[in-house]
Amino acid sequence: MCLLSNGKNIIARLNSIWQEIAVAKGLAREFVYRFEKLVLTLDAIADKLFVKTVKAHQILSECEHLTEQFRSERGKHHYRSLVLLTRLEGLIDGLIKETYEFRIKAG
């Protein structure tokens, strides 16, 4: 399995952006709660070996892409923002699952 060194860097960037979004004025409380939850979830796996793999890097890169889309849609289309956030949560849930499966396989 190919390892990359920047998984933790991507997680740090995502957490920073998500925290910035969560404190933005005018954001619905539901969005704030969900972004804060995403930050806590990623913090829990930031030091895991799996975040250095190519697969994790792909998932995290997709998360960055969705986050940028959310930032551009914020305040314009509530439904579109909700869909993007739901997709983002799905990717993070998948990342968590992959992380623990990787840990089990690695022994």
Q: What is the pTM of this model?
A: 0.87
Q: What is the three-state SS of the chain?
A: CCECCCHHHHHHHHHHHHHHHHCCCCCCHHHHHHHHHHHHHHHHHCCCHHHHEHHHHHHHHHHHHHHHHHHHHCCCCHHHHHHHHHHHHHHHHHHHHHHHHHHHHHC
Residue whose token pair is 């993070």: 92
Q: Closest by alpha carbon to 82, among 70, 91, 64?
A: 70
Tens digits of pLDDT across the chain (107 residues): 454 556 788 888 999 999 998 888 888 899 999 999 999 998 888 778 788 888 888 999 999 999 999 988 877 878 898 999 999 999 999 999 998 888 888 76
In one letter, which amino acid is 33? Y
